[in-house]
Each structure stands twice: as C-alpha cells, then as structure tokens.
A = this chain, B = another copy of it.
Amino acid sequence: MNAKCQFKELAGARLSGGESFIMQGRHFLQIPGPSPVPDRILRAISMPVIDHRSAEFGALGRHVLEASKTVFKTEQPVVIYPSSGTGAWEAAIVNTLSPGDTVLMAETGHFATLWHQIAVKFGIEVEFIPGDWRRGADPATIEARLTEDKARRIKAVMVVHNETSTGATSRIAEIRKAIDAAGHPALFMVDTISSLGSVDYRHDEWRVDVTVSGSQKGLMLPPGLSFNAISEKAFAASKGNKLPRSYWDWQDMVKINATGFFPYTPATNLLYGLKEAIAMLHEEGLDNVFARHKRLAAACRAAVKAWGLEVLCENPAEQSPVLTGVLMPQGHDADRFRKITLEKYNISLGSGLGKVAGKVFRIGHLGECNELTLLGALSGVEMGLAAAGVPHRSGGVDAAMALLRDGAAQGQAPVAAVA
C-alpha cells in the first residue's frame, strides 16, 4: 500500500474506475449543489466548537435564528435541523399531516417524486399531478383540482420551488393565488432547498405555511443543516396531527429556540458558517444576489442554444436561475460525456436523475458563482462536448460572453457600491 496523504484524494485526485487521476488546479464544482463554499465560510466552520449550553452559544443561536428569517422573508419561526434537506422534507410532513390525509403534489421532476415517496411512506395519500419534467407546477391545474375538492379532503398543496433535477421553477406566488381563488384551506408547503438565497422567495407575503430548505445551495454552506419556516396555521396543525415524531418535532424546537438554544445538540460549526453566509448575502444585497443568478442563468442558456442543444425546461418564464438542465442529442449518453469532461477538464457537472438519467446533464450556476467562473465552466462543457464526440456547434462561450457583456452595459453590473 502506498503512502498517500489523506488530503490528496480529497483535494487533488479524481478517481475513475479502477484508476486514479491527478487533476491539477482548482476543481470547477458546477453541480446544482452542494455549491462551492466560499473561503470565508470554510474558515468560519473550522473555528473551535463551543459549549452548546453556554451564554455565548445562546447569543449565536439567537443571531442565526433571527438572521435566517431575513432570508426566508418571514417574521415567523424558522427551525434549523442538523440534517440534510431530506430531513426537512420529512419534518414538514410529520408535523402537519396524519396517516390517510390527502395532499396535492405536482410532478415537476425527480425531487418532487422523492418528496412524494416520503409522504407515501408516512401513509399520506398523494394526488400527484403528472408532469413531463420540463416545466414547473401549473397554477391553473392546481386551482382546478382544489376547486373540485368540495369536501376539502386535500390537506396540503406541496410544490418544489426550484426542481434541481430539471432546472424548472414553479411560480409560487401564482400558486398562492390559485389556492386563494379556489378558496381552499389546504396548507401550502414549498421546497426551496435549491432556490433559497438564489431566487426571490417570500414566505410571509406568499403565505406559505411550511417552507423547506437546506444549507448547501444558495446558502453556500456544506450540507448538514436544513430548515422549516413555519406559519401560524402550520404550527397549529402540528398540534393535532397524528404522526409520531421526536427529532423533527416543531413544538420543543420552537419553544427552546426562543432562548437561542436547541432541544438537542446542534451542528455548532455549521451554525458559525450560517452566520457568515447570511452576512455575505446581505453584504451583496439579496436583490443583487437574485439578479446575478438570473444574469448567469441567461448566459448559460445562451451557450446551450448556441451549441444547438436543448434546454430541458421548455417554459422560458420558469427556467431556473440556479441551474440549467441540458438534453443530450439522441444516442449520446450524458454520463459518458460528464465522465470525459471531468477527467479532461476537472469540472463536475450534474447527472440526469430518475427518468432523465443518461439523457440530461445539469450545469449549476449558483451560490459563489460569478461571470468568470461560469465562463470557465461553459468552456469546459464546450470542450467536453467535442472530446466526447457529441454533435454540437461551437460558439457557446461566445454567446454567453455576448449576453454578459450586454447585461453589463444595461447596468446589471455585478458591482454594488457600498457605504
């Protein structure tokens, strides 16, 4: 056995099949999350752990619990779990629903499907509005279905804001209107795991009842924290529902959070990072952050179009600011392309998931991403397409540059003056 430093394979090598490769230089992590973690945050999470029952921790706890609300745009409680986002999905369900309850979900893609499956595991009846994975949830369909539901059997409408598997967003404000138009009392639960901190989102204004989120996307943290923002109505529902729960239970969490503490040991070092991450978002300004994501996404789509490839999301109004799903030409395997591109150009792209596996690859452009990072990544894709023999036209990077240049000229510059 040879003497390798543990960091080597983490930082410098990429393993492929039975071989190992040394990839030189900075890795381009262009998957739609985990997104690259800024240096400031990596340094913050490496500070020594403190006593989670100390006054010092209480101050940290109060800070991050309050600061988190500004990102969800809510005045209501936000709870933070030491878990990945999957846990926060489960938390939303076990706190508000009871076995046999019916919910309405929309099949926007792989992650909507996974959330659906979790609900089923807990005995929930899911009406799953079918979808082709190329658009967001349709407000009109939801309104129609709720209007039909005279018996008010539907306890909740559950929608994924940004479908990480496809790059299609759902129009949450319009779905809120749809629910209102139907006059339906269902809870409204939204997964923002891959949109929070990257796409405009308004928990209170849109009267969402439970917003689910995670740390490793727009919040630019490593995975390991997840969130539920909770409306008064949802919190009330949690008192009567029948699913057994402990770890995910809101009651203890909200009560103890009031003092800045947690009912069980929190992931202290990730909370250090959360504090730093929210500070960074506000230094840039949330609106600037959202504009930047839109601008970069438009540039990415311009590149895809120039290559002669197809963006998976068909509805321009729903194309994601966070990632772009790209359809491979018939007969070309997306995973072979991704593997070649990784090995030649040291860039990770997202795979197709679920029913688009092998047919789609995804380009993440979220979190700590800027013009040049994106253009470097698009260069990798363009060269990778050539290396993998995927039919395409060149000129994608040029098209992206043209758009970013024009964008800049229109005053959408990345530069925000600060006092």
Contacts and interface: CB of A to CB of B under 8 A. Distances in A.
A344 B414 contact: yes
A31 B45 contact: no
A246 B28 CA distance: 32
A16 interface: yes
A106 interface: no
Given A243-B244, A379-B397, A398-B394, A49 B26 contact: no
A29 interface: yes
A266 interface: yes
Interface string A73-113: 00000000111111100100000000100000000000000
Interface in A1-43: 1-17, 19-29, 31, 33-34, 36-40, 42-43
A234 B59 CA distance: 42
B395 A408 contact: no
A289 B24 CA distance: 9
* Oligomer copy total: 4
Contact of A9 (B42, B60, B288, B379): B60
Interface string A288-323: 110010000000000000000000000000000000
A11 B49 contact: no
Given A10-B272, A55-B14, A283-B8, A372 B368 contact: no
Interface stretch (A142-150, A169-177, A346-354): A346-354
Q: Secondary structure of the A side of the interface?
A: mixed
A99 B123 CA distance: 15
Contacts of A6: 5, 7, 44, 275-276, 279
A386 B370 contact: no
Nearest to A121: B246
6 contacts: A25-B371, A52-B223, A83-B83, A376-B376, A379-B397, A387-B408
Given A39-B47, A121-B246, 7 more contacts: A1-B419, A2-B419, A10-B272, A26-B372, A344-B408, A346-B371, A394-B398
